[in-house]
Structure 1
Amino acid sequence: MRSTSSLYSFLLSIFIIALSLPAVSCKPRGLKIKPYPTPRVIASTPSGIQQGDVTLSYTLIEVDGSGSDIALEYSTDGGSTWQAATAKGGSGTTDVKGIIYPGVGRTIVWDSVADVVGYETCRVRIIARKSLSGKTGTPDETGEFEVRNPQVPVISWVSKPEGTVRELPLTFTWQYDTPEYPVQGYFYNLDGQPPMQTASMSVTIPAPPTGQHTFQVYAASYTGNVSNVLEATFTCDNAALNQPPTVVITNGPSGTTTDTKPTFEYIGSDPDGSVQMYFVSIDVDPPDIWISANSWTSSALSCGSHTFYVMAQDNEGKNSTIVSRAFTVIPPAGNQFPSVAITSGPSGTTYDNTPTFEYIGGDPDGYVTGYYVSIDTDPPDIWTTGNSWTSPELPLGPYTFYVVTQDNEGKNSAVVSRSFTVEEPPIQPPTVTILTGPSGTTFDSTPTFTYEGLDNDGTIAGYFVSIDVNPPDVWTTQNSWTSPGLPLGPHTFYVMAQDNDGANSTIATRMFSVILPPGSLIWVKEAQGTSNEQGNSVAVCFDGSILVTGQFYGQVTFGAGEANETSISSAGIYDMFIAKYNSDGTLAWVKRAGGIGHQRGLYVRAHSDGSAYITGRLEETGTFGQGEGNETDLTSAGLIDIFVAKYNADGTFAWAKSAGGTGIDIGEGVSVFPDGSAVVTGYFNDNATFGLGEPGETTLVVTNPSFGRSDVFVAKYNPDGTLAWAKPAGGTEHDRSQAVCTYSNGSAIITGYFRSSAIFGPGEPGQILIGAVAEDTFIAKYNSDGTIAWARNAGVDSNGNGIAALSDGSAILCGYIASPITGWDIYIAKHYSSGGLAWGKRASGNSFSEALDVAAFVDGSSVIIGQLSNTYTFGPGEFGETPLTANGSFDIFVAKYNPNGSLAWAKRAGGSAVDRGFGVTALPDGCSIATGYFGGTATFGAGEAGETQLTSIGGSAFFIAKFSP
C-alpha cells in the first residue's frame, strides 16, 4: 500500500510540472508524423430481395476526418472473384467524411441493374481510399443477399441503309440476340415521329424524301424493359447507287455434328429493294446453287471438315458478301437406348378395374417401333404399337403396370412401372337438378317445381321437398311438386333426392319472391263517421309514411281498432283534417282544424323532414293547432279565403297563414322546395291580399271584378310562413289554377283552365298572352323569382286538374278533354321542360270521367286517379288495352303509365253508390297510394287475393289504399 501511494504521488507531481511549463513543440526534429491515418469500413448486409438501386449502409472510421473516396466491388460466386460495381447516390462517393471509433453511419447506392442481369446471389465489398493520398483502408464485405433484376432484351442490325441511298421504299432488318427473354414487340420511327409497333424483325418504310434521315428501333419485353436503341442514319438522293443486300446464317451446325445431311437457315435483307434469291453451297466458294427458300438441306456428306456458303441477290441483281459457317461431320456413336415415360393411368387407389395407361417413348438416334406392356409381369410381355393400353378386368387388390419401349434397331429401354390398388368403389350419392319453377319474382302464390334425380350406381327412390324448410321434409316419388299457397315475400324451394341404398343427394335450392300482379291492392283503410268524410290529397314522406288531407262533418274515427285509434269531431259544417299513416297503413296520428264555417284541406305535400304543407279553403273563422302553445285563428276576409298551413312530422302545429279578399279565394295546390319554402296556387275572384301586415304584403287585382270572374294566383311562402312573392294571371273570363309542381332550381309549373284569353306575367317584359278554345287547359312555368318563363295551352276544350314534376324538368299533366258528343275523356300528357308536348294519351268513353290527380315515379312512369262513369278504355289499341266499367254512377279508377306513355295497368274500385278518387302519390318502390271517398259498399281489388269490401255507415266515407307497382 505504501509503495503504491508513493508512485501515485510522484506521477501527479510530474503532471502538475508539465502543465506549468510553456508550450513547446511535441515534434522531434527529423520525425515525420503520418498525416493520413488509414480509414476503415464496417458494412451491413441488406435484408430481403433487392432490385435496381440497392442502398448499402456502412460505418466509416477515420482518425483525422479528412475524407475518403468510396468504391464498390461485387461478387456472384461467394467472394471467389470480384468485379467493379457501379456506385451512385447515398452519402456520396468522393470526399466522404468519417470520425474516430465508433465511426459515423453512411450509405451508398449500388446501381445493380448496370452490373447484374437476372437472378443472382451477391456480396458487395465497400472500399475507402483517402481522398488526398489515395491510401486504401481496410474494406469490408456484406453478407450474401439476392438480387432480382428484370432481363433486358438485346437487338442488333442485320441490314440497314447506309450512306446515300435512292428515294425508294427502304427495308430495315434486325435480329433478336436474347431469345430467352420474350418480347411483346418492336417499336420503330423515322426522324423522331411517333413510334409504330411491329411483331416482325424486318420493316419496309415508304420512300423517304430527299435529305438526311434517322431511323430508330428498339424492343420491349413483357416485363416492361426496353432494349438498346438501334439507329441508322442515311441520306436519300436519287443519284445514289443501288446498295447491296446482306445475309445472315440463323441456324445450322457449327463445330461437330453427326448429321450427314445438315440443314441451314438464313435470312437476307436489302435496304433499298428486296431479296430475290440465294446462292448456297457446301465447300464451293462462291456458292453456285440457286434457291429462293430461306433454308437448304445438304446432300449426304462424308465425315470431315466442311463449310457452308450463302450469298443473297437483290431485285437489281446485286449480290451480298458471302457468309460462311464451318463445321465437321463426325461418325455417330453406337446405338443409344430408347426411353419411355408413363403419362397417364391410376396411381395409388382406383375404383376402375379395367384401367387405361398412356405412355410415350423416345429414341435419341432412331425411332420407337413399339412397346411391351403387362400387369404384374416383369419384364412385360404384351407387344403393342399404340401409346395407350387398357388392362383386362382385374379383381380387387394391388397391382403394378410395366412398360418397355423398343427402337428401330431392337434395343429396349429400361422397364418403367406404376403401382396401384383396385378397391371397391364406395356407394355414390345421387344428384338432383331443379328443372323448372320460378326464380326471381313471380305472381304465382302456388308455384310448381320440376326436378330430376340421377344415381350412377343405383336408382332414385324419391325426393324430399319443401318451401322454406331446410332440410326438406315432404316425401314424394314424383318429379314435380306444387306448393300450397304462399304469402307475399321471399321464399326458397328445397329438394333432395334419395337412392335405393338410402343415400341422399346434396340439397338443391331455388330462391324466388311472390309479388302481387301490377296494380294489385296491398291494403285499404277507411275512416268513418255518421256523416261525410272525404280524402282530397295524399303525399309520401321520406320514410315511407303517408300524409293525407281532406274534410269531414260530425264525428269520425281514424285507425279503428288500432293502437292509435283517434276520433275527431267537426266544429262547424266541415272541418279540415290532416292524418299520417305508417307504411303498413296503420294510423300514426290525425289532427283537425276548423270552426263554424266550412274548411277543407285540398292539397298536401311533404317536406324531406317529414313535415306537411297544406292548402285549401277557409270560411269564416278556423282554428289551427287547437290547445297547442301556438294555436292560431284565421278568419276569412270575405266569403271564402285561401289558407296555407304547416304541421311538423309529429303532427304538432307549426304555422298557418290566410290570403284573400271579399270574394271567393281558394288554394288548390301546394308544392315544397328542399329549403322548406313552398309555392301555392289557386284562384281569386276579387282583389286578394297575400302576406297581410308583412313587409312583402301584396294585393292582387282581379282582371274583371264586375262579373265575379276569377283569376289565377301563384304565391311563394318562406319556410317560416311569411310571403316571398305573389303573382296573378288571367283574363276577363273564369281562369283557375288547380295544381302546381316545383323543381330543384326554384322554378314551378302550374296547370288549370282558362276561357277566352289570359295574360301570364302581366306587366313583365316577358308577359305572355294566350287564347283559349272554349274552356282550355293551360300550363305555365315560373322562375324562382316569380317572373313568367313560358305559358302554353292545349288548344282543345279541356281542363288541367293535376301536375307532377320529373327530374329532367319535364312535367306530367292530367285532366279531361271535352267532347260535344261523348262527354269527357280522361287524358294524361307529358310536356318537355320547354313546354312542348312530348306525348299525350287518353282513355275514351261516353260519359263524364276525368283524371283528378297525377304522381310521377323516379323512373319516369306516372299514375293518375279520378272518377269513372260508364265504360272507358285505357290504352286503346295497345297491347295492354284495358276497358273499365263503373258499377255505380261513379267509380274510382287508378291507372299507371310507362315513361313512354303506354299503359302499364288500370284498376277500378267502388260499388253501386258514388265513389271518387281525388288524390294519388308515388312511392319510391313503385307502389301507389290513393285517396278519395266511397258510398255504400265498395269493393277494392276485386278478384284479387287481397280483395276487400268497405261499407260506409254514413253518407260517404274516406279511404286510403295502397296498390302494387
Structure 2
Amino acid sequence: MIRKTLFLAIVLSYLTNSYGQTPEWNWIAKAGETGDDEALSTTSDMNGNIIVAGYFNGTIIFGIDTLSSSGASDFFIAKYDPAGNVLWAKKGGGSLNDQITSITTDPWENIIVTGAFQSSTLTIDTLTLTNSGSWDTFVAKFDSQGNLQWTKQIIGTDHDNANCVIADSTSIVIGGRFKQNIIIDTDTLTNISSGTYAFDVFLVKYDTSGNLAWSRSAGGSNEDVINSLSFDNNGNILATGYYTNSPITFDTITLTNSGSNDIFLAKYNSSGNVIWAKKAAGTFNDYSYALAVDQNNNSIISGYFGSSKIYFDSDSLVNIGSATFDIFLAKYDSNGNIIWVKRAGNTSMDVGYALSTDLNNNILIAGNYNNLPLFFGADTIENSGLWDVFLAKYDEFGNELWAKGAGGNDYDETHPNCLHISQNGSIILAGGFVSDTIVFDSISLVNANAGIPFSTSRDMFLAVLSPDTFTTGLNLNENITDLIVLFPNPTSGIFNLKSSNPIMNLKVFNSTGQLVTSKDIDGQDCLTFSLESSGIYFVQITTNKQIITKKIIVKK
C-alpha cells in the first residue's frame, strides 16, 4: 500500500501544474562575423543534441568550424550537444541566395532539411542541383554526423519555396507555395492563381528514402501559403497558413475570403486526402504562421491579426490597437471544432511565429513585439528597443503560466520553426539580432558589428531554457535523461523503444500504480512492445546506466 501511495504521489506530481514559476536560461550561444547571419529553424535529436539551421554571408564560425559563403548567402547546419558545445557545422550554397527554412529529425537521429535556392546551382557536399526558375525548393537528408544521404528538388519555371518539413518513422512531408507549375519527380502540380502574387500551396510526402509518395496542391486566384505542418498521433497531417483576397479550395472544400488575408487550418489523412478545412478571418490582414498538435490530437495555431475583430467560428478576438497587429492563439479539437482562443499584445506590432507543445499539453509560443511592453495574462514584458523576442507558456486550457522577453537596442527576431522542446524537456529558441547587445535575463550576447553606425547585420542566437521542472514532471524522469525515445505516443497499442544504452528490463504500470507487466531485456537498444487496453501507462526502463520512467497513452 505504501508503494502504491508513493507511486500515485509521483503521478500526481507529474500531472500537476504550478503556475507562475518561470524557468531560467541554461545557456545562450551566438555565431556570426561581419556579414548577415541568422537562424531560421531549430530542432533536437533523441540524445538532446540541438541542431540549428539558417543562412549566412561572408564567414561564420561554429566552434572550430569556419564556414565561408560561396555567394550572397549560403545555408548552414550546426549541431550542438546538450551543454552547448559545437559538435559539427556544415554549409551548402551557390552564387546567389540559398537558405534552409525548416529542419527536423527522425527517430533514428537523421536530419532532414528543406528550403529554397536562388543560385543557378546549389552544391551540398559533392552533389549539385540545377535551378530551373527564380527559386527552386530542395529537400536533403543527413545522418547524425552530417553526412549527406540524399537530396530531392522541386522544379519550376518561376518561384517555389518550402516553408516547413516534418518527419516520422516512415515519411517526410514538406509544405510551401509555388508560382506557375511545378514538377515533383513524376507528378506535376498546376497553379490556378494569376497576378503578381499568384502562389498556390503545395504539400508533398516522401518515404524515408526520398521516394515520392504523393503531392497535393490547393489554391485560389491570388497568394496562398502553407507556413507550418504537424503530424497528429494517427499519422494525419495538419497544415496552416493564409490565403489572399479570394476563396481557397482544398479538394472539394472551399473556404470563402472575408478580408485581405484570411487564415486556414486543413487536415489531411496519411494518403493525402483532405478530411476537413477551417478558416479564421476578419475584414483586414490576418496570418497564421505556427502549428502544433498536442497529445490528444488537438491542433493549436498562432500568428497575428490586423482586423479590428477576428472570428474563429463562434469565438472572436478584438484587436486593441489601430492599424496594428495582435497575437492570437487558437485551439481546435481533432474534428476542427474551436475549443478556445486567446490574444496577447499592445497597441503596436506583435506577432506570433512559433509553437511547441509538451507531454502535458502545455503550449509554448514565441514571436516578436515592437516598441511597447507586451501583455500576456498577468505578465508584462518590457521592450528594450525596436523589436524584441518573447517566449510564453500556456496550459492546455489557455491559462497563461509565464512569459519572458529578450532584446537589445535594435531589431531582434525569432522566426517560424525556431521554437522546439527537446527530449529532456529543454526549450530551444533561435533567431537573429541586430542590436549591439541582446540580453536574455542575466546573459548577454554582443553582435560582431557592435558599434558600427547604421549596421543592420544580424548575428545568430541559440537560447536554451532549462527543463521546466515545475510543469513537466521531473519526478518521473521525463527531464533527467535524454537517452530514451518512446514512439509513437499516444499509440494504438504497439510502441517502439530506442535507447543509446542497452535496455536490461522494462516494467509497465497502469495509472493506479499496479504492475501490468515486467520483461527482462537482453541488452537490446531497440525493441517493440504492445499493450492491450486503452489508458495512461507509465513505462519504467532500466538500462545498464540508469532507470527512466516515461508516460505513454494507449488509444484503441
Kept in 1: contact 2:187–2:215 (CA 8 A): no
Contact 2:115 2:139 in 1 (8 A): yes
Retained in 1: the 8 A contact 2:284–2:306? yes
Distance 1:672 1:517, change over 3 A: closer
1:580 aligns with 2:141: yes
Contact 2:392/2:403, CA 8 A, preserved across alignment? yes
Q: Report the equivalent of 2:42.
A: none
2:220/2:249 contact within 8 Å kept:
no
- Tell me the residue number matched to 2:316: 768
Aligned residue number for residue 842 of structure 1 = 405
Contact 2:302 2:330 in 1 (8 A): yes
Amino acid at match of 1:722: N
Matches for 1:375-774 after TM superposition, within 5 Å: 518-560=83-125, 565-609=126-170, 611-625=171-185, 630-638=186-194, 639-692=198-251, 697-704=252-259, 709-762=260-313, 766-773=314-321, 774=324
Question: Is this contact kept in 1: 2:315–2:341, CA < 8 A?
Answer: no
1:768 shift after superposition? 3.0
> Residues of 1 paired with 2:187 and 2:258: CA distance?
36
Deviation for aligned residue 1:854:
0.4
Change (3 A) 1:516 1:537: closer
CA–CA separation in structure 1 for the residues paired with 2:338 and 2:411 = 33
Work out which of the residue numbers 352, 356, 359 in structure 2 matches 1:804: 356
Cα distance between partner residues in 2 of 1:636 and 1:588: 35
Q: Does 1:858 align with 2:423?
A: yes
What's the CA shift string for 1:760-814, capped at 9, x where partnerless?
Answer: 432xxx4333434331111111110011111101132411111111111111111
Summarize deviations over 1:619-664 as a string: whole Å, max 9, x none.
Answer: 1111112xxxx43333243311111111110011111111111111
The Cα of 1:516 is off from its aligned counterpart by: 6.3
* Whole-Å separation in 2 of the counterparts to 1:680 and 1:517: 30
Over residues 131-180 of structure 1, what are the superposed CA-to-partner deviations in whole Å (9 max), with x where a residue is unaligned?
xxxxxxxxxxxxxxxxxxxxxxxxxxxxxxxxxxxxxxxxxxxxxxxxxx
CA contact (8 A) 1:856 1:863 kept: yes
Checking the alignment, whether the CA contact within 8 Å between 1:608 and 1:674 is kept in structure 2 is: no
Shift of 1:603: 0.6
Please tell me the residue identity of whatever aligns with 1:792: K
**Structure 1 unaligned spans of 5+:** 1-486, 488-514, 903-922, 927-965
- Supply the distance in 2 between the matched residues of 1:721 and 1:657 (Cα, whole angstroms): 7
- Quick check: which one's strand share is greater? 2
Contact 2:239 2:267 in 1 (8 A): yes
The reply on whether 1:789 has 2:350 as its aligned counterpart is no
**Which residue of structure 2 lines up, in the alignment, with residue 779 of structure 1?**
329
| Cα deviation digits, residues 656-682 of structure 1 (max 9, x gap) | 111111111111101112332111001
Deviation digits for residues 275-333 of structure 1, max 9, x if unmatched? xxxxxxxxxxxxxxxxxxxxxxxxxxxxxxxxxxxxxxxxxxxxxxxxxxxxxxxxxxx
* CA distance, structure 2, for counterparts of residue 646 and residue 895 of structure 1: 31
Q: Does 1:830 align with 2:396?
A: no
8 Å contact from structure 1 (residues 760, 791) kept in 2: no
Contact 2:392 2:402 in 1 (8 A): yes
Structure 1 residue 733 displacement after superposition: 1.6
What is the one-letter code of the residue matched to 2:154? A
Runs of 4+ off more than 4 Å:
923-926
**Aligned partner of residue 737 in structure 1, secondary structure:** strand
Distance 1:516 1:614, change over 3 A: closer
> How far is 1:573 from its partner?
0.5
1:899 and 2:459 are equivalent in the alignment: no
User: Could you tell me which residue of structure 2 aligns to residue 817 of structure 1?
Assistant: 369
CA positional deviation for 1:730 = 1.8
In 2, are the aligned partners of 1:807 and 1:858 still within 8 Å (CA)? no
Map residues 82-481 of structure 1 onto 2, 5 A cutoff: none
Query: What is the one-letter code of the residue matched to 2:139?
Result: I
Partners of 1:840 and 1:517 lie apart in 2 by 23
Question: What's 1:33 paired with?
Answer: none
Alignment-derived partner of residue 446 in structure 2: 884
Pair 1:517–1:769, CA change in 2 (3 A) = closer
The answer for the alignment partner of 1:218 in structure 2 is none
Note the alpha carbon deviations across 1:420-473, whole angstroms, 9 max, x for none: xxxxxxxxxxxxxxxxxxxxxxxxxxxxxxxxxxxxxxxxxxxxxxxxxxxxxx
Q: Per the alignment, do residues 538 and 636 of structure 1 end up closer, same or farther by CA in structure 2, a change over 3 Å counting?
A: farther
Distance in 2 between the 1:758 and 1:608 partners?
41
User: Equivalences for 1:913-928 in 2 at 5 Å?
Assistant: none
Shift of 1:520: 2.0
Mapped to 2, the partners of 1:591 and 1:516 lie a distance apart of 28
The whole-number CA distance in structure 2 between the counterparts of 1:557 and 1:582 is 20
Contact 1:647 1:655 in 2 (8 A): yes
Superposition RMSD in Å: 2.4
Question: 1:690, 1:726 within 8 Å by CA — same for their partners in 2?
Answer: no
Contact 1:619 1:636 in 2 (8 A): no
Change (3 A) 1:517 1:581: closer
Distance 1:784 1:809, change over 3 A: same
Deviation of 1:558 after TM superposition, in Å, equals 4.3
Unaligned 5+ segments in structure 2 are 1-63, 65-79, 373-383, 450-454, 471-480, 485-556
Structure of higher RCO (CA pairs closer than 8 Å, 6+ residues apart): 2
Q: 1:519 to 1:874 in 2, by over 3 A?
A: farther
Q: Distance in 2 between matches of 1:828 and 1:754?
A: 18
**TM-score where L is the length of structure 1:** 0.37
Q: Secondary structure at the match of 2:159?
A: coil
Q: Normalising by the residue count of structure 2, what TM-score does the alignment of the two structures yield?
A: 0.63
Q: Once the two structures are superposed, what CA deviation does each residue of 1:454-511 show, in whole Å capped at 9, x if it has no partner? A: xxxxxxxxxxxxxxxxxxxxxxxxxxxxxxxxx9xxxxxxxxxxxxxxxxxxxxxxxx
Report percent identity of matched pairs: 30
Structure-1 residue corresponding to 2:491: none
Contact 1:581 1:587 in 2 (8 A): yes
> Do 2:250 and 2:274's aligned partners in 1 also have CA atoms closer than 8 Å?
yes
Distance 1:891 1:652, change over 3 A: same
| 1:574–1:594 Cα contact (<8 Å) kept | no
The match for 2:543 is none
Aligned counterparts of 1:756 and 1:516: Cα–Cα separation in 2:
43
8 Å CA contact retained: 1:804, 1:854? yes
